[in-house]
Structures are given as C-alpha cells and as structure tokens.
Amino acid sequence: MADEVTLTIDGMSVAVPRGSTVRAACEAALVSIPTLCWHSNLEPANACRACVVEVKGSRALVASCSRVAEEGMDVQTASDRVRNSRKVVAELLLSTSDADLAPDLLHLAEISGADKNRFAGGATWQQPVKDDNSLYIRDLSKCILCYRCVEACGEDAQNTFAISVAGRGFNAHIDAGFGRELPESDCVFCGNCVAVCPTGALIGKTEWTLRQNGQWDEDRISQTETICSYCGVGCELNLHVLENRIVKVNSPMDHPVTHGMLCVKGRYGYEFAQAGE
Amino acid sequence: MGLTAVFGSGAGTSSYDDFHQTAFILLVGSNAAEAHPIIFHHIMKGVRSGAELVVIDPRRTLTAQKAHEHVQIAVGSDIALVNAMAHVIIRDQLYHKDFIAHATVGFEAFAAQVANWTPARAAAVTGIPADRIESLAKRYAAAPCAMIAWTLGITEHHNAVDNVRALINLALLCGNVGRPGAGLNPLRGQNNVQGGGDMGALPGRLPGFQDVTDPDVRRKFEQAWGTKIHATPGFDQTQMFRAMEDGQLKGLYVIGENPAQSDANSQHVQHLLQSLDALVVQDIFLTATAALADVVLPAHVSFAESEGTYTNSERRVQRVRAARNAPGEARDDLWITASLARAMGHPWPILDARQLFDEMRHLTVNYRGMTYERLEALHGMQWPVYDETHPGSPVLHDRLWRPETGPKAPFAVVEWEPPVEHTTLEYPFVLTTGRRLPFFNTGVQSNLYEHPHNIGEWLEIHPDDAAKLDIADGGLVSVQSPRGRVELPAHYSLAVTPGTVFMSFHFPDDVMTNDLTIDATDPQSGTAEFKAAAVRLAPLKVQEASTRKEA
C-alpha cells in the first residue's frame, strides 16, 4: 500500500505506516528496543544512543527513535556492534551518574551485560543537590543529559523555555539561564520536567524528603486517578497517597486531556485537601 | 447562554484535539497560558503544526506573547472589533455562502447592521488601526478551518451574552462550526462549571439543559422523583441579590461558594448576606462567607475524598474518585444535602454518587449512554452519548452540514456598548481583573501550598503612568473606585497599556479586589463586569499606609 513501508527487522518482514520510526517498526515487530531519552510524548532528542540499531548499508549505527523507516530497510537490533555500543553507553553513564532512581538505565545495563565498574575512578557528575524552591529538587548527580526536561519545558509541552543545556563536553549541564536559581528564572514550576525525568534528577520535594528520611515506601503508596479541582480543563490527576496524605501527583502519559502534563496548581497545589489534619 | 440561544446547548462545540488540526486560532479575552495551561498546551500543538494564533486581549499576557499577532484592544471593545471583521468579510464577499443559506437564519439583518461597522469606526473604539482589522478579518475568512475560544474577558462584562453572540456570528459567517478543526469554545474557569450547567444548576433548566417550562419535561421528572416541579424558573445569582435588596429573599443555602469575596462590589454583597434571616453555608473551609453564616455545615470533604464526576470544557465527563479518607465524622455534600431534605420532612433516599448518576442518565438524553464502567475505561466520554454503544461526540452540531439541519443557527444583531463605568477626571484609570498562573479565585485552594512566587497581591501598572504619579516600582499605592478602596504594592509592567491597571483577586483577606469591582451585570447571563471598573491611584508612604488602614 502507498501509505505503508515494508522493512526487515532481525530477518522478519514488517509493514508500518509511512513516517513511522524504526523504533516504532521494531515495536510493531514485537522486538524490544531499550531507550533512555526517547519518550512517547516528546520529540526525539537523539541524545542517549541506547536505541541504536544496525541498518544494512549504513556506515554508522542509527538512532532508531528518530530514524524514519524506509521501504526495504534491513535492520539488525541485536548484532555484536549494536550490543557492544549499548553496553559502552551504559558503562559510561554509570561511571559518571548516580543511577539509584534510574530504572531504564539499570535495565539497559542489565540487558547489555554492562560492567558498572569498567570506567570507575574517572570524573563523575557528583555534586550537591540544588534545593532552591519548595516544590522540586534538582539532583544533577543523577542527570544523564537526556534532554527530556528541556523538550517538555519547551515546545513539546509547556512552551516556557526556562531551561536548556549549557556548557560543552563534560561540563554540559541543564541550566535555568546564567546559573540562576529556579525562583529567579523563567520557570513556572509546572513540574512537567519532573514528570518526564527518567533518573530522579528532578524529583518532587515531598518525595525527595521522604526518601531522604527512609519513609518512601512504594508498597504502602496507593495511586488513585481522579480529576483536578481547579480550572475547567479537566486534567486527570494520579494522586499518590501515603498514610492518608497526598505525597505526589502526576498524570497518565496516554490521557487525552493532559498527555501527562499538568500545571503547577494541579501538580503541587493539593495541600488544601489535607490542611489542618 | 449565547451558545444555548444559537445551538440549543450551552457548551463548547469542539474538542481540545481540534486545536491540533485547525489552521487558525482566535483567542479572545483568554490568558490560557496562565488560566488554562493544559488547553494552552493543546493550542501550541496546533501552532506547531502550522496554525496561526491571534490573541485579542487588553493585556500583553504570557499567552499574547506566544501569538503570531497580539491585538491589544481597549477594555470592553470586543464587539466593535468583531463586527468590523464581519463587515470586511461581508463587504469583500469572503463569507461561506452555502453554509449561510443552508444552516443559518438572520443573515440579511446582521449584514445590514455590520455595514455600519467600518474598520475605521472600529479603530476609533478599539485602538487598533483599520488596516490591521482588515487583515485579521481576511486571514480569519481565508483559513480553511478556524477555532474561536474565549474566557472571562468576554463573559465578565455587562454585555457578556452580546460579546459571545458577536463571536458566534463570526464563526457562522465562515462556516466555522460543526466540523473538525472549527468551533466555538468557552474555556471554563472552574472545574465543574460545565457539569453544573449540564446537571440543571441553572434557574430554568433540569438536567441535560431540559427546559423547566416545558410540561412534557416536567412530567417526566415528576414521575421519576414523585414530586411536583414548579413551572416558573427560579432566580439566578444576580436576581437573588436583587431579591435580597427588595427583602423578597430571606434565606440562602450556599454550597462550596464564597460570594462574600468572589462577587463584584463585595461590601454590598456582604451587607446583603448579613441582612438575611437565615444563611446556611456548606464548605470545606470556614470561608469569609461561612463566617457570616447562621449555620455552617462543614463538608470536610475535598475533591480528593469525593466520588462522582466532573465535566470539562470539551464536554468530557470524567470520574472523580476518593484517594484518601476524610477525617473523623466528615460527610460528603450528597449526604448532607439529602439529610437536610429528610430533616425537612422529605423522604429523599440516601444515594451514593453512582446511584445518583444512574438515575440522572436515564432522565437525560445527553448522558444516557454513560456508565461508570465506560467513563473509567475510556478516560471519560464527551456528551452527547445517546446509548451504551455510542462512542461520544468530539464535535457538536455537525447536523448543520447535513441535508436535514434541524433548527437553523440564528445570526444576532449586536451593538457595541462601552463598559458601564467610564473613566473620569476623578477616576482616570480602567481597572481590569483576572487570574495569575499559580493561584486560583479567592485563594481558598491555592493559598495553602508554598509557591516560590507567592508575594501576595500586587497592582500591574505601566511605567509611564507610574512616573506621572510618582509611584515607585514595588511602592505602596491606594486604589480607589466609587465603591471601595484597597492598598497594595504596585509593580511596573509592560503587559498593560497606559491608562489600564490590573489586579487579581487571589488574596482577598489582604487585598479585597472585589471591593473595587462593579456589580453591573449582564441582564441575560447575570455575570458582573469584573473586567472594567474606573479607579484612581495614589502613592502611599509606609507610615501613611498603616495609619490609613486603621481608619
């Protein structure tokens, strides 16, 4: 059909709508591709190289998250080159960043057989947490520069453009402009960056504090989907409740109203519901 | 109100997804980036896909800053602008002739009236040059599909319904309703404004906008409820206050509202509430209104402990679920209201939210096919949903494009009127009011979380005005209208034009903005003109402020 392309993935033929990415084609073929920076609701940033695959005739490995599938493409997702590349990506990130709250990175390390100590002893991104506002914490020791927060703050969701990547090479880091603290920046505290962060580098202050005190216990946290009580947009809120207190709010990424995005009132303005108790 | 008159139901005609696929978005009196941030997210998705965004607003808001064009009109001049756009579209024959012939009535009278609204005349009223009005009209008419959305900048005026009718005229003129990517959308300010209207919380309506004056409708509900229903519509809020003034209304039961702080000319409102024989307030907080009450029914149940549904601005009915347990003996609003009825001798059953919903949907065509199971499985459903196999309705009024249109959509002849209160030598500034992103209404919900930018209320003033009056950036000022006076810090802002100042109403315990606003209301919708009051300003020294506060 004219609006479809057919390609081969690990020897298996699959037809996908024209314009689909190679990653989406792999998904259609039930071949799992690891990702770090890719996010269902954001434009691909091509930052992490976790999703690389080998395309016959292409000199370099290609990022499947953004490469558009073409008619007749022959894709290998688990060749030695691909596996080695993913393994090194995981090993390099683990040598610089704290992956404690990064399930996707830990998964990548596991499936690629990465040795987390291979590059140990070199420079790291270890640094004090940035605790400059009452709503969320920036722990850049955990940041892997996936760009998701930048995309969510910018044209993929929030359109505020408060943060970007500053510096070059190993000094590259997420910055709110001239090294300013968040309250002095253009940040409006919607927390959409927090919602898409895959490593816990951006984390709600309440969750962070509970974790610091050893009180964050996933098994004891209930999650209930309900609707925000502020304006008339009707955003679905997923209320995380621990010991009868709301401790975190997010929204399902597949919700037709929110696409997982909220404003500051929806994400953080819940204290009134439990005031005075 | 305007939408009900034209199309038979008071609701937005499109879905948020329609913003993604439209060619043109006209936002009027709406600071969506601050007041409806997630709708703004949808709007910007459309912009990214190639839609042109034009924002009509007296202030250069965050929203206006993102627009391709910001039309910074004089406060309350919307009808002049929109009528002149229609003038150009008709004069140059850019309107959708087939749609007008097929699906509308009243075009000739409308065309004759807007013939008087030349762009030059509108320019004098709006402050927008005639060539910009011409260009805007031509671009709107040329778009293959266009969305119009508005908020309280349109409806919080004494001629609110006329403002809405003018926008509807524009959409009818170009066939921009009832098809994908084209529609008319009021962005609702409070989470369940749409649901309240849907459920008949309007004086003349029963659930599903069914008319209480229609004997067949009454008979249906009388049979279901086993009681007689009055054929005469009750009072809307404005009429209630008028009836209080006349001594005709002596008792009031307020559920989850704070009119003592949220209504215009609030000192007068408070006086009326105090003069009642009985004021009963049911709320989760001891609000300023509750403080005036004879009886307070502490609901103690917020949205996070409630079951039920809310309906959003795209008619999506969604489940509200309890996430936590309410404290102690707390009861929800349903139980309180039913128990009150029982105490008054009416044998109302105590129903839970789902039982009540099921009763309602069987009496209400729009909701009939919704069940809690379907609402949960589908992330809510958009009414009308006629039966349990119906998928819901992303776009309303597509009937207008079918051979059998049903009732045709009427054009309205609407004339521009200036805001009720004019600036004078004594009160030379226009005060307009609205929301700021981190906060909400009278702050009952939003003032309890710690926002980094919470510096309380402030006055936005253009630096040129401030310089003339010797007002420092951050300095204290007094703001006086014919009805009241407040003191607050002023901050320089290029969002307002010289002659206009802006305040929110989020911190009424410190700065009672609505002591200043005017209770001139629209005769049809009952909405007050929060957007335009005349005020005078004076700088205050710190010691002067404290002594005058005592006085």
Last residue of a domain, one of A91, A123, A155: A123
Q: Is residue A48 domain-shared with residue A151, that is, in the same domain?
A: no
- Between the alpha carbon of residue B107 and those of residues A70, B104, B266, B355, B409, the distances in Å are 53, 7, 42, 47, 10
B120 CB within 8 Å of a chain A CB: no
Q: How far apart are CA B304 and CA B327, in angstroms?
A: 12
Q: Cβ B438–A262 below 8 Å, yes or no?
A: no
Q: How far apart are CA B544 and CA A233, in angstroms?
A: 44
Q: Is residue A220 domain-shared with residue A157, that is, in the same domain?
A: yes
Contacts of B438 in chain A (CB under 8 A): 188-189, 264-265, 269
- Per DSSP, the residues of B462-485 read -HHHHHHHTPPTT-EEEEE-SS-E
- Alpha-carbon gap: A236 to the closest alpha carbon of chain B (Å): 8
Q: Classify residue A212: in a domain, yes or no.
A: yes
Q: Is residue A143 domain-shared with residue A227, that is, in the same domain?
A: yes
Q: What is the dihedral of CA B397, B398, B404, B408, to 10 degrees?
A: 40
Q: How far apart are CA A53 and CA A27, in angstroms?
A: 13
Domains present along chain B, CATH in parentheses: 2-186 (3.40.228.10), 189-234+300-326+364-389 (3.40.50.740), 429-550 (2.40.40.20)
Q: Is residue A144 domain-shared with residue A174, that is, in the same domain?
A: yes
Mutate to test the interface with B, among A192, A230, A258 (most CBs of B within 10 A): A230
Residues B442, B448, B454, CA angle at the centre, nearest 5°?
80
Contacts of A224 in chain B (CB under 8 A): 321-323
Q: Is residue A113 domain-shared with residue A185, that is, in the same domain?
A: no
Q: Classify residue A113: in a domain, yes or no.
A: yes
Question: Could you tell me the mean pLDDT of each successive run of 10 residues in chain A, 277 residues long?
Answer: 89 96 96 96 94 96 97 96 97 96 96 94 94 97 97 95 94 94 96 98 98 97 96 96 96 97 97 83
Q: Is residue A13 domain-shared with residue A57, that is, in the same domain?
A: yes
Q: Is residue A194 domain-shared with residue A111, that is, in the same domain?
A: no
- Between the alpha carbon of residue A235 and those of residues A206, B25, B450, the distances in Å are 21, 22, 21
A133 CB within 8 Å of a chain B CB: yes
Q: What is the pLDDT of residue B548?
A: 43
Q: Out of B33, B318, B325, name the one closest to residue A244 (CB).
A: B325
Last residue of a domain, one of A123, A148, A182: A123
Q: Classify residue A23: in a domain, yes or no.
A: yes
Q: Is residue A268 domain-shared with residue A158, that is, in the same domain?
A: yes
Q: Is residue A119 domain-shared with residue A145, that is, in the same domain?
A: no
Mutate to test the interface with A, among B313, B324, B455 (most CBs of A within 10 A): B324
CB B397 within 8 A of CB B13: yes
Last residue of a domain, one of A98, A123, A148: A123
B337 CB within 8 Å of a chain A CB: no
CATH number at residue A77: 3.10.20.740
Q: Classify residue A208: in a domain, yes or no.
A: yes
B286 CB within 8 Å of a chain A CB: no
Q: Classify residue A106: in a domain, yes or no.
A: yes
Q: How far apart are CA A114 and CA A121, in angstroms?
A: 16
Give residues with Cβ within 8 angstroms of B403, minimum separation 6: none
Contacts of B33 in chain A (CB under 8 A): 159
Q: Classify residue A131: in a domain, yes or no.
A: no
Q: Is residue A50 domain-shared with residue A116, that is, in the same domain?
A: yes
Q: Classify residue A103: in a domain, yes or no.
A: yes
- Domain ranges, residue A248: 136-274
A275 CB within 8 Å of a chain B CB: yes
Q: Cβ A265–B446 below 8 Å, yes or no?
A: yes
Task: For chain B, state the CA radius of gyration.
Answer: 24
The answer, yes or no, to whether ipTM is higher than 0.85 is yes
Q: Cβ B437–A263 below 8 Å, yes or no?
A: yes
Residues 111-130 of chain A whose Cβ lies under 8 A from any Cβ of chain B: none
CB B332 within 8 A of CB B299: yes
- Per DSSP, the residues of B97-111 read HHHHHHHEE-HHHHH
Q: Cβ B187–A233 below 8 Å, yes or no?
A: yes
Domain count, chain A: 2
B194 CB within 8 Å of a chain A CB: yes
Specify the pTM: 0.93
Q: Cβ A233–B38 below 8 Å, yes or no?
A: yes
Q: Out of B66, B190, B323, name the one closest to residue A246 (CB).
A: B323
Q: What is the pLDDT of residue B4?
A: 86
Q: Is residue A168 domain-shared with residue A232, that is, in the same domain?
A: yes
Residue pairs spanning A and B at CB distance below 8 A: 167
CATH number at residue A145: 2.20.25.90
Q: How many CA atoms lie within 13 A of B538 on its CB side?
A: 13
Q: Is residue A167 domain-shared with residue A100, that is, in the same domain?
A: no
Q: Classify residue A218: in a domain, yes or no.
A: yes
Backbone angles phi, psi at B48, to 5 degrees: -65, -30
3-state secondary structure of A13: strand
B262 CB within 8 Å of a chain A CB: no
Q: What is the pLDDT of residue B248?
A: 94
3-state class percentages of chain B: helix first, strand second, coil last, to nearest 5 = 35, 15, 45
Residues A132, A134, A138, CA angle at the centre, nearest 5°?
50
551 residues of chain B, pLDDT tens digit each = 688 889 887 889 999 999 999 999 999 999 999 999 999 999 999 999 999 999 999 999 999 999 999 999 999 999 999 999 999 999 999 999 999 999 999 999 999 999 999 999 999 999 999 999 999 999 999 999 999 999 988 888 888 899 999 999 999 999 999 999 999 999 988 889 899 989 998 889 999 989 999 999 999 999 999 999 999 999 988 899 999 999 999 999 999 888 888 888 888 999 999 999 999 999 888 889 999 999 998 876 788 998 999 999 999 999 999 999 887 777 888 889 999 999 999 989 999 999 999 999 999 999 999 999 999 999 999 999 999 999 999 999 999 999 999 999 999 999 999 999 999 999 999 999 999 998 988 888 888 899 999 889 999 999 999 999 999 999 999 999 999 999 999 999 999 999 999 999 999 889 999 899 988 888 877 788 888 899 999 999 865 654 444 33
